[in-house]
C-alpha cells in the first residue's frame, strides 16, 4: 500500500537529542542497534560497482514506468516550495512510489531535523547547508559519488565533501541582492533634482543611499509622477521593512551578515571563502552598520516593531509600496505568481548587488547555495536506492524538471535542465549578466557559520536592541565577533 503524502509545516521547537533512525520497529534501542549493524555490514559487503548497478537498475525501471516503491521520506528545507514537493510526491506515488514529504517551518529546520532523525522511520533524504552540517551529520551521509544523481551534477564545486566522501550535492544555486521595482525607480529618475538619471547609475553604496534617502523624503512627488502610468501602486517607502522576526531575520543575520564575512575572509587569504575560520575581527562591521541603518531609516516601518512578526516585506514590494527589497531569486516566482495578487509584474522587477562600500565597482550578486541533498546512510539499502531513484526522477522527468523550474522558480545545477527547462528566473539571469560583465560574484561565506541557529539568534537579539534603542552597536559587534569564536569552538570541539 502506498503511503499517503504528509503535508505538514512544523512551527514549534523540537527535541534536540540526535539518535540513529530508520526502520519501523517499536523497540527503538533494538532497531537502532540492528539498523547500525545492518548498515555497517552492507557498507562492508557492498562495492562501489554494486551501488552503481543498483542505482542504474532503479533508474532504468523508472524509465520503463516501473517506479522503485521503497520508502522515501524527504525533509524539505524550503517552506516556499512545499506545495510543489507535495504535488511531485503525489505524482510519483500515483506511479507506484512511496514518498512522504515533510517541510520544516521558517527558521526551524535544524530543530526539526534533530527530532525527525531521531525517529525509527527517519528521513531518507535531508538537507545539508554547509561543511559544519556535514561534520555534524557525518555518520548519516551516504557517499553519493558514482550515483546517477551525482553524475548529472553540472558544477561539482558546489558539492559538500566529508574527506573523500561526497556527503551532499547542491539541488539548486541561488543569487541574492537588492530586488527593486525598476518602473518606480525610472519614474523617480524623472523628478527634478533626482540623484540619478537612470537606475544603471546606482553602482555603489553612496549613490544607493542618496537615492533611497531622497525617495523616502519625496514619496508624494513620486506618486504624482506615477499617476499617469499603468502602475497602480502607492509608494510609501524606499526600502521594504527589515523584519527581525524568525520569518525574516535570516535576511540580515545570514545574507547581509555574509558581506562582512566575505570581505574579511578575502583579506585573510582563505582559499575557500565558504569554509570559515575560528576567529573573526569584524573588520567590516561599520559597513554592515551603514547598510542596516539605511534599511531602517529609509523604510516606513517603526524601528521598534521590526521583531513583531506583523510586517510583510514581500507584500510591500509586491504591492508597489516599496522600491527596494533585500532578498533572492527565490522571490521571483512568488512576486510574479498571479494567484498572490501582487501588482508587480516580471517587467517591473530587477536586482542589483548589496553595495557595501568596499569593492563596489567589481561586485556582483551573492551567488551560492545552502541547499544540498544528502541521503541517510543509516537507512536500509532498499530505502537508499529508492531515495536515489526518486531524486533522479525529479531531475530527469518532465514532471520533476517543470516543478523545479516553474513551480519552485529555482536554477538547478544538473545537466538535464536544458531547452524548455532552462532557468526562467530573471534574477538568476541577472547574476550571469553581472558575471559576463566581469563583476565578481560574492561567495556565500555565511555557509561557514558555526552553530548557525545559535549564532544568528544572538546577532538578531543584539541587532534588535540596537535598532529599538535599548542597546548599542557594541552589542552587535560582541555578538558577531565574540559569538563567532564561542560557537566555532563549540561546533568544532572533539
Residue-wise pLDDT for 57-76, tens only, equals 444 444 455 789 999 999 99
Pairing of strands 99-104, 72-76: parallel
What's residue 40's pLDDT?
Answer: 43
Does residue 251 share a domain with residue 158?
no
Please say if the pLDDT value at position 33 is more than 50: no
Does residue 291 share a domain with residue 147?
no
Residues of 226-246 as b/e, b for ≥16 C-beta within 10 angstroms? Answer: beeeebebebbbbbbbbbbbb
For residue 2, being part of any structural domain is answered with no
Does residue 321 share a domain with residue 234?
yes
Does residue 377 share a domain with residue 307?
no
Does residue 108 share a domain with residue 63?
yes
Q: Residue 394's domain is classified under what CATH number?
A: 3.40.190.10
For residue 304, being part of any structural domain is answered with yes
Please say if the pLDDT value at position 183 is more than 70: yes
Q: What is the pTM of this model?
A: 0.69
Does residue 224 share a domain with residue 209?
yes
| CA nearest to 447, candidates 255, 287, 266 | 255
Contacts of 303 (CB under 8 A, 6+ apart): 296, 467, 468, 469
Please identify which residue in the block is written with the cell numbers 557594541: 474
Residue 492: band (very low, low, confident or very high) from pLDDT cuts 50, 70, 90: confident
Please say if the pLDDT value at position 54 is more than 70: no
Residue 278: band (very low, low, confident or very high) from pLDDT cuts 50, 70, 90: very high
For residue 16, being part of any structural domain is answered with yes
Torsion sign (Cα): 35, 39, 45, 46: positive
For residue 68, being part of any structural domain is answered with yes
Does residue 383 share a domain with residue 255?
no
Contacts of 146 (CB under 8 A, 6+ apart): 48, 51, 52, 55
Alpha helices by DSSP H, listed for 2-142, are: 28-45, 48-63, 82-94, 109-117, 131-136
Does residue 242 share a domain with residue 155?
no
Q: How far apart are CA 254 and CA 447, in angstroms?
A: 9
Please say if the pLDDT value at position 101 is more than 70: yes
What's residue 23's pLDDT?
Answer: 61
What's residue 17's pLDDT?
Answer: 39
For residue 423, being part of any structural domain is answered with no
For residue 425, being part of any structural domain is answered with no
For residue 1, being part of any structural domain is answered with no
What's residue 231's pLDDT?
Answer: 85
| CA nearest to 10, candidates 123, 128, 160 | 123
Does residue 403 share a domain with residue 305?
no
Asked which of 387, 417, 447 is the last residue of a domain, the reply is 417
Residue 387: band (very low, low, confident or very high) from pLDDT cuts 50, 70, 90: very high
Give residue-wise pLDDT tens across range 253-269. Answer: 999 999 999 999 999 99
- Weakest-pLDDT range from 350-354, 393-397, 424-428, 459-463: 424-428
Q: How many domains, in total, are found in the chain?
A: 2
What's residue 26's pLDDT?
Answer: 32
Does residue 312 share a domain with residue 404?
no
Residue 229: band (very low, low, confident or very high) from pLDDT cuts 50, 70, 90: confident
Cell numbers given for 274: 565558504
Contacts of 204 (CB under 8 A, 6+ apart): 355, 357, 360, 361
If one compares 409 and 367, the residue with the highest pLDDT of the two is 367
Please say if the pLDDT value at position 27 is more than 70: no
Cell numbers given for 148: 546517477
Does residue 128 share a domain with residue 110?
yes
Q: What angle do CA 63, 65, 68 make, to 5 degrees?
A: 85
What's residue 369's pLDDT?
Answer: 87
Does residue 163 share a domain with residue 244?
no
Domain interval for residue 144: 9-173+369-417
Edge-first strand listing for the sheet containing 160-162: 9-10, 99-104, 72-76, 125-128, 372-375, 165-170, 160-162
What's residue 155's pLDDT?
Answer: 78
For residue 18, being part of any structural domain is answered with yes
Q: Give the pLDDT mean for 447-466.
A: 96
What's residue 332's pLDDT?
Answer: 92
What's residue 423's pLDDT?
Answer: 78
Amino acid at each position: 500500500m502506498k503511503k499517503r503524502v504528509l503535508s505538514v509545516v512544523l512551527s514549534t521547537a523540537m527535541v534536540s537529542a540526535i539518535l540513529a533512525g530508520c526502520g519501523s520497529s517499536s523497540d527503538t534501542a533494538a532497531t537502532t542497534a540492528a539498523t547500525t549493524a545492518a548498515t555497517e555490514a552492507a557498507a562492508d559487503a557492498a562495492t562501489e560497482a554494486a551501488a552503481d548497478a543498483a542505482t542504474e537498475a532503479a533508474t532504468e525501471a523508472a524509465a520503463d514506468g516501473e517506479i522503485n516503491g521503497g520508502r522515501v521520506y524527504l525533509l524539505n528545507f524550503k517552506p516556499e516550495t512545499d506545495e510543489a514537493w507535495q504535488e511531485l510526491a503525489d505524482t510519483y506515488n500515483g506511479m507506484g512510489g512511496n514518498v512522504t514529504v515533510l517541510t520544516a517551518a521558517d527558521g526551524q529546520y535544524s530543530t526539526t531535523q534533530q527530532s525527525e532523525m531521531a525517529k525509527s522511520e527517519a528521513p531518507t533524504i535531508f538537507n545539508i547547508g554547509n561543511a559544519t552540517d556535514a561534520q555534524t551529520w557525518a555518520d548519516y551521509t551516504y557517499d553519493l559519488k558514482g550515483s546517477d544523481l551525482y553524475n548529472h551534477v553540472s558544477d561539482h564545486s558546489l558539492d559538500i565533501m566529508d574527506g573523500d566522501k561526497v556527503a551532499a550535492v547542491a539541488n539548486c544555486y541561488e543569487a541574492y541582492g537588492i530586488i527593486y521595482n525598476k518602473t518606480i525607480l525610472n519614474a523617480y529618475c524623472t523628478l527634478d533634482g533626482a540623484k540619478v538619471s537612470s537606475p544603471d547609475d546606482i553602482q555603489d553604496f553612496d549613490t544607493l543611499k542618496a537615492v533611497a534617502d531622497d525617495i523616502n523624503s519625496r514619496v508624494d512627488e513620486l506618486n504624482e509622477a506615477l499617476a499617469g502610468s499603468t502602475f497602480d501602486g502607492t509608494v510609501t517607502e524606499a526600502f521594504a521593512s527589515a523584519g527581525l522576526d524568525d520569518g525574516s531575520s535570516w535576511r540580515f543575520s545570514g545574507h547581509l551578515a555574509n558581506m562582512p564575512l566575505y570581505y574579511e575572509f578575502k583579506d585573510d587569504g582563505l582559499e575557500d571563502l565558504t569554509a570559515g575560520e575560528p576567529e573573526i575581527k569584524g573588520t567590516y562591521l561599520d559597513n554592515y552598520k551603514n547598510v542596516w541603518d539605511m534599511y531602517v531609516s529609509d523604510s516606513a516601518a517603526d524601528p521598534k516593531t521590526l521583531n513583531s512578526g506583523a510586517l510583510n516585506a514581500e507584500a510591500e514590494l509586491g504591492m508597489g509600496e516599496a522600491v527596494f527589497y533585500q532578498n533572492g531569486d527565490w522571490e521571483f516566482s512568488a512576486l510574479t505568481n498571479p494567484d498572490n495578487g501582487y501588482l508587480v509584474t516580471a517587467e517591473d522587477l530587477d536586482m542589483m548587488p548589496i553595495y557595501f562600500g568596499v569593492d563596489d565597482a567589481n561586485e556582483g550578486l551573492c551567488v551560492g547555495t545552502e541547499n544540498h541533498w544528502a541521503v541517510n546512510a543509516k537507512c536500509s539499502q532498499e530505502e537508499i536506492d529508492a531515495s536515489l531513484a526518486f531524486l533522479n526522477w525529479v531531475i530527469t522527468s518532465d514532471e520533476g524538471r517543470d516543478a523545479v523550474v516553474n513551480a519552485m522558480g529555482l536554477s538547478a545545477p544538473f545537466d538535464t535542465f536544458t531547452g524548455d527547462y532552462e532557468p526562467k528566473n530573471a534574477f538568476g539571469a541577472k547574476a550571469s549578466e553581472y558575471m559576463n560583465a566581469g563583476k565578481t560574484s560574492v561567495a556565500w561565506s555565511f555557509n561557514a557559520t558555526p552553530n548557525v541557529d545559535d549564532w544568528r539568534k544572538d546577532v538578531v537579539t543584539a541587532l534588535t536592541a540596537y535598532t529599538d534603542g535599548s542597546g548599542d552597536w557594541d552589542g552587535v559587534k560582541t555578538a558577531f565577533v565574540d559569538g563567532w569564536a564561542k560557537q566555532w569552538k563549540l561546533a568544532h570541539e572533539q
